[in-house]
């Protein structure tokens, strides 16, 4: 018996109905062979009759045998589908992205090498910054704005804004002086925890689903705390439930709440003559004598000029008065700085876009990771209780990764030990002076009071600009929630809510659909789509 070439194209998947036909033909020839006592190969005969290759016939019979043996419910055959590749979502982490950027800058300025994916992966893994594959690192670099392309001319390469670089130089010089004098340096910061906070991956099987993630993010807890090498400031932890669910958690904190926490819980428990390091959130930079701008009324501009003893002519226009405001020597003062200075401490503001200089970010990651692993499926109230327990039991002897990688100024000089604080019970090692011109100026000595005062009087146009997460967000902010009569929605994802109002709406919708179907059956009215 000849075996011609099968009619079905090679590589084309057979659907479930075609597979069932091949199976029935195979069963027919098997029965006929047993009845007639014939001697022929049933698989080859089935292949010749259906136009399917003999190998595919064997696969189909094997599939039918497996499903019959396992007593699977449903159809005997299922149409095979090709696995479609899904784009992997790269989680955005500002601190890790900043560490990757600093490592790439270190390759160019310190090592004088051109980094590759292989060398960069090894360097990040050795520094315990990120342990990942080269393919993941390539995607992470792409999301951060890095591209592998032809080198450009040095005449059009702009590394960063000079005012930001100067701010970082002043910060490093000042904190280095404070460390040499042995002052107690305390870092304060704010973070948040969602009700849906949990692990993203877990061990699971078909029987055990593991840790299930909530559909919505839920309510939010705002956490405010501070600490340094001696541990957290005692009795200074503040945890409260946020009043809004906006994308920026800073909207739930204002100057009144922050100043109340600062004066009642933080400063009374702080050792004398300490240094408080903070970022530039808007409630950290509320001005006591804010300069007028173009939206200020002319009467208020005149009042500000008189209050600050600036000479002006009564016949001047508003534009001329604003020019006097701009050229005046009146410096900016901030309410938070005055509160801390009146308590006998010093303030130091981090430069913008530099979360890697704040060691408390490492502590946030450690505590949030432990909270996610050990509070699976718990409500927000239990998470708050467990958070307080974690902060109270956070050991000062717990080893933390030191953020002591060297930074490089624009002249290529290395500044060591910028943020060598590990929240541990280790003896503070004062930073050693280097050959950098940032350590001292020729012919004069640098005192911490002068440094602190220079930091409180920033340069024009660069002084303590309000930097919010929207300014440095590496991905677009989610749109506002949309509400309609079918329930709450966020974007295109339905939030499952089981409320009496929703049940009533669904009952009305079902009744309306049944009414339309009845009208359609009786022919009185066509069903409208």
Q: What is the pLDDT of residue 339?
A: 93
Rounded to whole angstroms, how far apart are CA atoms 129 and 98? 10
Q: What is the pLDDT of residue 267?
A: 93
Q: What is the pLDDT of residue 6?
A: 53
Q: How many CB atoms lie within 10 A of CB 139?
A: 15
Mean pLDDT of 266-273: 92
Does residue 393 register a pLDDT over 50?
Answer: yes
Does residue 184 register a pLDDT over 90?
Answer: yes
**Better pLDDT: 246 or 4:** 4
Q: Is 128 exposed, middle or buried (0-12, 13-18, 19+ CB in 10 A)?
A: exposed
Contacts of 223 (CB under 8 A, 6+ apart): 190, 191, 192, 193, 237, 238, 239, 387
Contacts of 508 (CB under 8 A, 6+ apart): none
Lowest mean pLDDT among 26-30, 299-303, 399-403: 399-403
Does residue 431 register a pLDDT over 60?
Answer: no
Residue 270 CB-half CA count within 13 A: 30
Domains of the chain, by residue range, sit at: 1-81, 94-143, 162-200+215-289+331-472, 482-522
Domain 162-200+215-289+331-472: give its CATH superfamily: Ribonuclease H-like superfamily/Ribonuclease H (3.30.420.10)
Q: What is the pLDDT of residue 525?
A: 43
- Inter-residue contact 415 to 408 (CB < 8 Å): yes
For residue range 79-101, what is the model confidence (pLDDT) as tens digits? Answer: 777 666 666 666 667 888 888 99
Mean pLDDT of 455-479: 40
Rounded to the nearest 10 degrees, the angle between the axes of helix 16-36 and helix 42-50 is: 130
Q: What is the pLDDT of residue 120?
A: 93
Does residue 501 register a pLDDT over 80?
Answer: no
Q: What is the pLDDT of residue 171?
A: 94
For residue range 276-332, what is the model confidence (pLDDT) as tens digits? Answer: 999 988 888 888 888 888 888 989 899 989 888 888 888 899 898 999 888 888 888
Q: How many CB atoms lie within 10 A of CB 273?
A: 11
Rounded to whole angstroms, how far apart are CA atoms 252 and 243? 6
Rounded to whole angstroms, how far apart are CA atoms 97 and 498? 40
Q: What is the pLDDT of residue 262?
A: 92
Lowest mean pLDDT among 170-174, 276-280, 403-407, 521-525: 403-407
DSSP string, 157-189: ---S-HHHHHHHHHHHHHHHHHHHTT--EEEEE
Rounded to whole angstroms, how far apart are CA atoms 392 and 234? 9
pTM of the predicted model, to two decimals? Answer: 0.49
Lowest mean pLDDT among 215-224, 412-421, 515-524: 412-421
Rounded to whole angstroms, how far apart are CA atoms 366 and 374? 12
């Amino acid at each position: 018996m000849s075996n011609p070439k099968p009619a079905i194209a090679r590589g084309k998947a057979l659907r479930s109905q075609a597979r069932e036909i091949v199976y029935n033909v195979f069963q027919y020839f098997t029965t006929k062979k047993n009845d007639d006592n014939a001697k022929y190969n049933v698989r080859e005969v089935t292949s010749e009759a259906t136009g399917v290759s003999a190998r595919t016939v064997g696969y189909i019979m094997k599939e039918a045998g497996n499903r019959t043996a396992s007593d699977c419910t449903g159809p005997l055959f299922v149409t095979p589908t090709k696995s479609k590749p899904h784009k992997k979502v790269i989680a955005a982490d500002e601190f890790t992205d900043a560490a990757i950027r600093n490592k790439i800058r270190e390759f160019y300025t310190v090592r004088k090498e051109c980094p590759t994916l292989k060398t960069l992966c090894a360097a990040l893994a050795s520094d315990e910054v990120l342990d990942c594959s080269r393919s993941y690192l390539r995607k992470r670099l792409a999301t951060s704005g890095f591209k592998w392309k032809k080198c450009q001319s040095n005449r059009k390469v702009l590394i960063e804004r000079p005012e930001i670089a100067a701010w970082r130089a002043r910060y490093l010089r000042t904190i280095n002086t404070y460390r040499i004098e042995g002052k107690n340096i305390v870092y304060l910061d704010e973070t948040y925890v969602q009700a849906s906070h949990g692990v993203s991956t877990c061990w699971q099987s078909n029987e055990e689903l593991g840790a299930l993630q909530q559909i919505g993010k839920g309510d939010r807890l705002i956490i405010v705390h501070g600490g340094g090498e001696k541990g957290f400031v005692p009795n200074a932890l503040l945890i409260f439930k946020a009043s809004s669910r906006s994308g920026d958690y800073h909207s739930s904190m204002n100057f009144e709440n922050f100043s109340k926490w600062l004066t009642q819980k933080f400063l009374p428990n702080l050792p004398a003559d300490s240094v408080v390091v903070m970022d530039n959130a808007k409630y950290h930079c509320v001005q006591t004598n804010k300069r007028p701008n173009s939206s200020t009324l002319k009467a208020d501009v005149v009042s500000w000029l008189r209050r600050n003893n600036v000479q002006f002519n009564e016949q001047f226009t508003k534009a001329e008065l604003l020019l006097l405001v701009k050229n005046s020597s009146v410096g900016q003062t901030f309410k938070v700085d005055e509160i801390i200075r009146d308590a006998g401490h010093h303030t130091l503001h981090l430069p913008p876009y530099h979360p890697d200089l704040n060691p408390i970010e490492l502590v946030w990651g450690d505590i949030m990771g432990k909270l996610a692993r050990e509070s699976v499926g718990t409500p927000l109230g239990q998470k708050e209780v467990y958070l307080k327990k974690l902060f109270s039991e956070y050991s000062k002897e717990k080893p933390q990764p030191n953020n002591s990688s060297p930074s490089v100024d624009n002249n290529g000089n290395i500044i060591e030990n910028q943020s060598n604080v590990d929240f541990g019970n280790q003896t503070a090692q004062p930073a050693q002076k280097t050959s950098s011109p940032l350590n001292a100026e020729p012919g004069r000595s640098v005192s911490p009071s002068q440094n602190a005062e220079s930091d409180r009087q920033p340069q024009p146009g660069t002084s303590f600009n309000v930097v919010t997460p929207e300014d440095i967000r590496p991905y677009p902010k989610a749109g506002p929630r949309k509400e309609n009569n079918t329930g709450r929605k966020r974007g295109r994802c339905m939030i499952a809510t089981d409320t009496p109002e929703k049940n009533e709406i669904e009952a009305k919708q079902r009744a309306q659909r049944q009414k339309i179907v009845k009208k359609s059956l009786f022919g009185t009215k066509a069903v409208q789509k």
